[in-house]
Amino acid sequence: MSWLKILGAVIVGALLLTVGILLGHFAIPKGGNGRGAPSWVQTVGRDLNESLLQSFMDQVDSGKIRENLKALASQPHMATTKGDEELVKLLLSRWQDPQIGLDSASEDVYGVFLSFPDPQRPNSVAVGVCGSQIFSTRRSEKNVTADQAHADVVQPYAAYAPPGNPRGRLVYANQGKRSDYLELVNMGINLNGTVAITRYGGAGRANKAVNGAEFGVAGVVVYTDPADINDGRAFEEETYPNSWYLPPSGVERGSYSVYFGDLLTPYYPAKGNIGGAPIPTPSKEVWGGAETLTTPYISGSMSSSNLSGPVAPASWQGSLGCSYHVGPGFRTGGLFPNTSDVQVNVHNQRVIKNSSNVMGFIRGSEEPDRYVLYGNHRDSWVHGAIDPSSGTAVMLEITRVLGKMLKEGMRVWGVHRGATIPSEFYSKLRERSVAYINVDISVFANATLRAQGTPPAQSVIFAAAKQVPGSSMSVYDNWRNHFSRISPSYGVIPNLGSLGAGSDYASFIHYLGITSMDIAYTYDRNKTSARIYPAYHTAFDTFDYADRFIDPGFTSHQAVARTVGNVLLRLADSLILPLNVSDYGEKLDELYSAATQGDFLANLNANNLSLGPLKAAIGQFKSVAADFNQRIMKLKEEESPSPLQIRMVNDQIMLLERAFLNPQAFPNQYYYSHVIWASKSSDQATFPGLADAYTSALETGDWDQVRKHLTIVVQAVESAASTLEAMA
């Protein structure tokens, strides 16, 4: 969840991920040991070895994860900086270690389009009257544990915000959602030429600026309100280093790019030298309409509580200890003269810099052409102890144990550790990848497992989580206690969340249609309502912070490592892939059901559209998936099934997710091709393309688009069903 989630996972070809691909199976020969038969007869039928699973989990060491994290977060390691380059070496040395290394490891270099602040001209928000500046934001966080004074701490900035110096009266625009700006307009406020201050949350970073630009806003300032991240605590002594809360000087850095993926090379490898021509500068529109700055929450006091104009709506109020007004301009008698303008100074520089994708591989013994991918980005905004090094620390422990087991003779049948998606490998990854496991921030908090994924991932995550012990109950039971839902098929089960585009899995699921999952430990929502762990993307996200406040003892890191390693080994070594395809049926039913709620169906019918074909397609899918599972059951009962039969059903399982891809479905959204999971802006809880087309048709009357998206969904579901059908 750093910008390299955006730059790495997403900027295809940016290769800032460290991903693992692993596909193996080992142990327990199943039947077919005829003497005189070729030797492979004894290995191709082997199924998962439970005792190796147990051995793996026993060896996962919380102390070693802590050591990993201490090393990884010892200094700032923003992408392409010295600290980051040192981590490249660290990863390579671990994975190439003769005692505990993997089969191989390598790095690939890409030229990535990045945005950095100008060290000579810091970004700032200044308040001035008649040309004289009377206030300017500070350059960075206050030094509280020495870490913040490190020379490589980058000043807070809104990466990819276009340079400029807009100046205008200040308005408070809540979270910068389109509806927030609209509400200001409805209050009679002329937004043209104003500078909007907005809180983090509610809308994506870049969208705060894009939305504002639509209403003529000239500059946008983004700050963190203690209401949103500190459970309301705003006094310095209540915050880090005395608690996990964010000190008043903390600023969330982040990417303000609208798209995921390298802005200059969408769909292509970030190798700018192809053809040799200079790389064009993307137009201002690419990353949003207004110059943007991110500021500490103390800067909030500069705004809402000191503004003139009407009192902001109740839901807009925060925790800065006073009533928030909306402006425009400062109030009389406040901190600043009421004639003061605010100036946003953005001096961001655009550069293309080299960065490496580090990949480690374990080669499969039986099916080296099937990959299990495991990944994370490497770079941070500052020290990045939690984001992303908590994930990398877990990855290194998993690979240490696997490497050790490999050296001790374990033989997997398809290991292949590596990689973000260097796009020259798109077609290879698309054809061969069984699943992608993402562990970015591995521990947001130490209360419970939290997993997201597409439906087939549910079965393997559940199986793993049931085997991992917690302090008083299994990781699975604890998870169900915190987040549960009632499944029509299974009763009360843990709730597997949906994947958005917020981490390194984005290209894997949205563009390549690879079954993906994201696994972490997270909050007890009875204890905190923080939007995210408070030090996120600030100079306070340090090893000390993680060690004392996020996961003392590193038991949650250990639980994540055990769960993820268990999932990974199950995917690599089960004779039949442990992904239950019929679980997609519940999701399809849920999305369909949402389309029959409220006015949706009535409006469709009024425009001669029917959900009948969609209902039929989903019914067909569920029926075919149930038959498919029956055939698997029979196959498992066979004494010695043919390896080609096994491969056939495994391919059907692997490729199911690909059947939902449609590269023509969302022509205006880079990378989004998955008909079930694409992003949407509509509030309708149904299939994304259908939801957006419907919401748009209510305004424009363009029901042809709704018809088109109905067709797209029906085709995708029929195609998915077709993939699972018995061979003619």
Which lies closer to a second copy via its Cβ, residue 16 or residue 359? Answer: 359
Residue 98 touches a second copy, criterion: CB under 8 A: no
- SS3 assignment, position 593: helix
Output 400 or 416, the one with its CB closest to a second copy: 416
Write down the least CB distance from residue 713 to a second copy, Å: 9
At 570, list the tokens: 């199950």
**Structure-block tokens of residue 468:** 């991992």
In three-state secondary structure terms, 276 is coil
> Which of 492, 606, 648, 698 is in the footprint of a second copy by CB under 8 A?
648
Using CB under 8 A, which residues numbered 621 to 640 contact a second copy? 639-640
Tell me which DSSP letter residue 261 carries.
Answer: S
Indicate which single residue of 528, 651, 682, 696 sits in contact with a second copy (rule: CB under 8 A). 651
Q: Among 667, 668, 683, 699, indicate the residue that binds a second copy (CB under 8 A).
A: 667
703 binds a second copy (CB under 8 A): yes
Burial call 349-375: b when 16+ CB within 10 Å, e when fewer: ebebeebbbbbbbbbbbbbbebbbbbb
HSE-up of residue 477 (Cα within 13 Å, Cβ side): 8
**Segment 444-483, which members bind a second copy (CB under 8 A)?**
none
Q: How would you label 233-264 residue by residue, b for 16+ Cβ within 10 Å and e otherwise?
A: bbeeeebbeebbbbbbbbbbbbbbbbbbbbbb
Integer Rg of the chain from CA: 26
x/- track of binding to a second copy for residues 342-381 (CB under 8 A): -------------------x-xx-xxxx------------
Q: Give yes or no for residue 701 binding a second copy (CB under 8 A).
A: no
Q: Which residues of 476-497 are buried (b: 16+ CB within 10 A; e: fewer)?
A: bebbbebbeeeeeeeeebbbbe
Restricted to residues 17-56, the positions that interact with a second copy (CB under 8 A) are 31-38, 40-41, 44
Q: Which of 289, 355, 385, 500 is nearest to 11 (CA)?
A: 355
| Cβ nearer to a second copy, comparing 271 with 407 | 271
Give yes or no for residue 615 binding a second copy (CB under 8 A): no
Helix (H) or strand (E) holding 493: strand 491-494
Least CB distance to a second copy at residue 365 (A): 10
Closer residue to a second copy in complex, CB, 134/648: 648
Of the residues 130, 314, 486, 644, which one makes contact with a second copy according to CB under 8 A: 644
The amino acid sitting at 713 is V
Query: Could you give the CA distance from residue 689 to residue 674 in angstroms, rounded to a whole number?
Result: 10
Residues 150-179 that bind a second copy (CB under 8 A): none
- Say whether residue 658 binds a second copy (CB under 8 A): yes
User: Side by side, which strands form the sheet with 124-129?
Assistant: 132-136, 124-129, 341-345, 167-168
One of 493, 609, 635, 685 touching a second copy (CB under 8 A) = 609
**Interaction of residue 280 with a second copy, rule CB under 8 A:** yes
For a second copy, the closer of residues 447 and 611 by Cβ is 611
Number of residues located near a second copy, criterion CB under 8 A? 80
Restricted to residues 426-445, the positions that interact with a second copy (CB under 8 A) are: 426-428, 431
Give the whole-angstrom CA distance, residue 198 versus residue 222.
5
Cα gap 342→326, rounded to integer Å: 14
- DSSP letters for 28-96: ---S---TTS-THHHHTT----HHHHHHHHHH--HHHHHHHHHHHTSS--BTTSHHHHHHHHHHHHHHT
- Residue closer to a second copy by CB (options 37, 351) is 37
Contacting residue, 70, 347, 466, 707, with a second copy by CB under 8 A = 707
The region of 125-133, 305-313, 394-402, 720-728 touching a second copy under the rule CB under 8 A is 720-728
Toward a second copy, which CB reaches closer, 410 or 714?
714
Smallest gap from Cβ 633 to a second copy, in A, equals: 19
| Pairwise CA distance, residues 47 & 578, whole Å | 11
User: Assign residue 554 a region: left if phi > 0, alpha if psi is -120 to 50, beta otherwise?
Assistant: left
Does 268 interact with a second copy (rule: CB under 8 A)?
yes
User: Is residue 706 a contact point for a second copy (CB under 8 A)?
Assistant: yes
Q: Please tell me whether residue 104 binds a second copy under the rule CB under 8 A.
A: yes
Among 143, 190, 642, 681, binds a second copy (CB under 8 A): 642
Give 335 or 352: the residue with its C-beta nearer to a second copy.
352
- Rounded CA separation 95/97 (Å): 6
